[in-house]
Amino acid sequence: MDSCDRNSTSRITGKDIKQAIMFSASLNKLTLNQDEATEYTNLILEELQTGQGVLQMNVMSKGLSRDLQPTCGPIPVPMKCSRQRHILTATVVFFQAHWRRIFVVFLWLMACAALFTWKFMQYRQRLAFEVMGYCLSTAKGAAETLKLNMAIVLLPVCRNTVTWLRRSRVINSVIPFNDNINFHKLVAAGIVIGVILHGGIHLACDFPRITRTDKAFFGRTIAADFGPSRRNPGMLPPLVRQLAGFNAFWYSHHVFIAVYVLLIVHSMFLFLAKDVAEKTTWMYVAIPVVIYIGERMFRMVRSMVFDVKILNATVYPGMVLALKVTKPPGFRYQSGMYVFVQCPEVSKFEWHPFSLTSAPDDDHLSIHIRSLGDWSYQMYDVFQQMLLSSNSSMPKIFFDGPYGAASQDHSKYEIILLIGLGIGATPFISVLKDIANGLDKGHGNLNYHSDRLKKAYFYWVTREQGSFEWFRDIMKEVSVLDSKQGVIEMYNYLTSVYQEGDKRSMLISAIQALHFARHGIDIISKTPVHTHFSRPNWPRVLHGLARRHIGERIGVFYCGPDDLGRQLEKLCHKVNTKTFTRFVFHKEHF
């Protein structure tokens, strides 16, 4: 404001204020038109004007110096305890948060270790051990773990099965279904290790030892396992020849199918094994492969049965496409679930996951797609061109789902904290709408027991002001439905604006406060939800919630980049060790 007071008269005109508002908005990367700037100028003059369209500087300075209240109160003093007690508490908290993961990983490791040991000891008793020694036993032990891992690696990505199993409270309380993708990656890492051990040891140790073995000794031990039949390409079983050459494997665009075919072929010609009873690979992979194939067929049929038609398509700033489609009969889901979407006009083979932003009680389905890759860019371009050309014919799309996600576990908690970064807010928009609908009806609906929920906190962090347009109508609706109960608290954070208290954003903060006090609408988001500047102080937020809800369990649900997810998970554990409140962290994985 000093820069507007060029004559140092301590008097500023409305024109000076308008120029300062426009400059401050530009400095903070905010979109502001001339009409809005004029409105905010008049607002300041009406509030603080002392006469004749002139504003006294000392009055403005007093107005700008008001401190904003922290979101969730000050950080409480942590519990004081000895080092030994702190270590014990941290261990207990860690185990409480991860015991299901530890249990599943422990079972998997024990199964791998048992199979490795069994096959290792078995080959120690073979004549071939006298030729190749522990190299052979190690390679065969690794091969046995490969059979197991090649079987179970398919199960975590059988999404329909996972979604069905997580409906059981007993099974869901033991198996961490939210970590299915992480477990899939862990098993894949086990496969890589098994391949390196099995193939590497055979090539680097077993075969060189065979070539260096005395001919007479070789003849007395393992010569019978080598013969011309090993080099006869015509010995492949007819069924394997037929499947291996089937064109469907190529058209499927799934390399893993060829891997499983080669795995079966390899198992039929095991090194040093002629007994059919030892060729057990098919026993390991048969059931998982059947389940996976059944899932793919079920998905294909269901996507055709659940026919959807686009009711409305809207493009938003940030290259976001919002689609509102018909809700197929019998399509039942819980808030927080997601679907796979295919658009043949973009690609006939690609399916991509997107969270549903509609509530289960809505008579339609909606998704929001942000352009972050080739497929989503093409999807956005197709619909944008259609809207620009005023073409009433909408592209055909297919939905496959719904599938379970971490966010649907919000119903397990009386207090929830929802954190979304950018487009990561999508699963929580569905949750908020579901909660608000339940509160408005005065009773829990089919998918959510609103009478159990005490409080829901929603933090949305975004870099661009235009992002608030994505869910503006929904946030207004939620605010209205929750106006009486006060169960939902929503906080918007815009990181492009300098943090509150910074001189570069003080004028915007003052206008924001004045406008909100008079009209109840935030000038940044254009909703009843107040927008904070910069990033949230997460330690302050969590400690504030811990102070507000002493001794309670709070479900923390996060959707966004992994880096912040790891920080928040560590922070939850840290706060758990210092307070009596327990934060249970959940992260979205697609």
- Mean residue pLDDT across the chain: 79
pLDDT-based confidence at 218, cuts 50/70/90? low
**For residue 231, pLDDT beyond 50:** no
Residue where the block lists tokens 């009406």: 46
**For residue 264, pLDDT beyond 90:** no
pLDDT (mean) for 67-88: 55
Residue where the block lists tokens 């962090």: 461
SS3 523: coil
Of the candidates 157, 375, 126, 396, which has an alpha carbon nearest to the alpha carbon of residue 274? 126
Q: Where are the beta strands (DSSP E) in 255-361?
A: 310-316, 320-326, 338-342, 352-355
CB-facing half-sphere around the CA of 91: CA atoms within 13 A: 6
Name which of 88-102, 399-413, 513-527 the model is least confident about.
88-102
**For residue 555, pLDDT beyond 90:** yes
In tens, the pLDDT along 348-402 reads: 888 889 999 999 989 999 999 998 888 889 999 999 888 888 767 888 999 998 9
Residue 141 host element (H or E)? helix 134-152
pTM (predicted TM-score): 0.76
pLDDT-based confidence at 169, cuts 50/70/90? confident
In the chain, pLDDT over 90 holds for what percent of residues?
Answer: 29
**Residue 540: predicted pLDDT:** 93
Going by their DSSP bridges, the two strands 352-355 and 11-13 should be labelled as: unpaired
Q: In angstroms, what CA-CA distances link 254 with 148, 229, 249, 350, 352?
A: 21, 32, 7, 12, 16
Q: Which residue has the higher pLDDT, 292 or 241?
A: 292
SS3 502: coil
**Residue 245: predicted pLDDT:** 38
**For residue 230, pLDDT beyond 50:** no
**For residue 59, pLDDT beyond 80:** no
Of the candidates 338, 531, 333, 357, which has an alpha carbon nearest to the alpha carbon of residue 429? 357
Name which of 116-130, 290-304, 438-452, 512-526 the model is least confident about.
438-452
**For residue 307, pLDDT beyond 80:** yes
The answer to whether residues 504 and 498 touch, using CB atoms and an 8 Å cutoff, is yes
**Residue 340: predicted pLDDT:** 92
CB-CB neighbours of 216 under 10 Å:
9
CB-CB neighbours of 396 under 10 Å:
13
**Residue 502: predicted pLDDT:** 77
pLDDT (mean) for 530-553: 91
Name which of 58-72, 139-153, 158-172 the model is least confident about.
58-72
Provide CB contacts within 8 A for 515, sequence distance 6+: 40, 43, 521, 522, 523
pLDDT-based confidence at 60, cuts 50/70/90? very low
Q: Which long-range contacts (CB under 8 A, 24 or more apart) does 249-256 make?
A: 253/349
The answer to whether residues 400 and 299 touch, using CB atoms and an 8 Å cutoff, is yes
SS (H, E, C) 87-131: HHHHHHHHHHHHHHHHHHHHHHHHHHHHHHHHHHHHHHCCCHHHH
pLDDT (mean) for 491-506: 85
Q: In angstroms, what CA-CA distances link 403 with 108, 113, 158, 418?
A: 25, 33, 10, 19
Q: Please report how the helices 255-268 and 281-305 are oriented relative to each other, as an axis angle in degrees rounded to 10.
A: 150
Q: In angstroms, what CA-CA distances link 285 with 53, 118, 151, 165, 458?
A: 81, 19, 4, 20, 44
In tens, the pLDDT along 273-291 reads: 566 556 778 888 889 999 9
**For residue 488, pLDDT beyond 80:** yes
Q: Which residue has the higher pLDDT, 57 or 325?
A: 325
**Residue 134: predicted pLDDT:** 78
Rounded Cα–Cα distance for residues 424 and 461 (Å): 9
Of the candidates 458, 450, 400, which has an alpha carbon nearest to the alpha carbon of residue 429? 458
SS3 40: helix
Q: Where are the beta strands (DSSP E) in 260-397?
A: 310-316, 320-326, 338-342, 352-355, 364-370
**Residue 98: predicted pLDDT:** 82
Rounded Cα–Cα distance for residues 218 and 207 (Å): 13
Of the candidates 414, 407, 453, which has an alpha carbon nearest to the alpha carbon of residue 551? 414
Which class for 265: exposed (0-12), middle (13-18), buried (19 or more C-beta within 10 A)?
middle
Q: In angstroms, what CA-CA distances link 494 with 392, 499, 553?
A: 36, 9, 29
Rounded Cα–Cα distance for residues 268 and 239 (Å): 12
Rounded Cα–Cα distance for residues 445 and 296 (Å): 32
Rounded Cα–Cα distance for residues 301 and 377 (Å): 27
Name which of 134-138, 218-222, 333-337, 521-525 the model is least confident about.
218-222
Q: Which long-range contacts (CB under 8 A, 24 or more apart) does 573-579 make?
A: 573/90, 573/93, 573/94, 573/97, 575/539, 575/542, 575/543, 575/546, 576/93, 576/97, 577/86, 577/89, 577/90, 577/93, 578/78, 578/79, 579/76, 579/78, 579/79, 579/543, 579/546, 579/547, 579/550
**Residue 305: predicted pLDDT:** 81
**Residue 206: predicted pLDDT:** 57
**Residue 216: predicted pLDDT:** 58
pLDDT-based confidence at 63, cuts 50/70/90? very low
Q: Where are the beta strands (DSSP E) in 297-397?
A: 310-316, 320-326, 338-342, 352-355, 364-370
pLDDT (mean) for 127-141: 75
Tokens coding 12: 């500023």
**For residue 178, pLDDT beyond 70:** yes
Name which of 168-182, 184-198, 209-223, 381-395 the model is least confident about.
209-223
**For residue 68, pLDDT beyond 60:** no
Q: In what order do the strands lie in the sheet with 582-587?
A: 531-533, 488-494, 455-462, 415-421, 553-559, 582-587
The answer to whether residues 445 and 486 touch, using CB atoms and an 8 Å cutoff, is no
Q: Which of 15-29, 341-355, 414-428 has the highest mean pLDDT?
A: 414-428
**Residue 246: predicted pLDDT:** 30
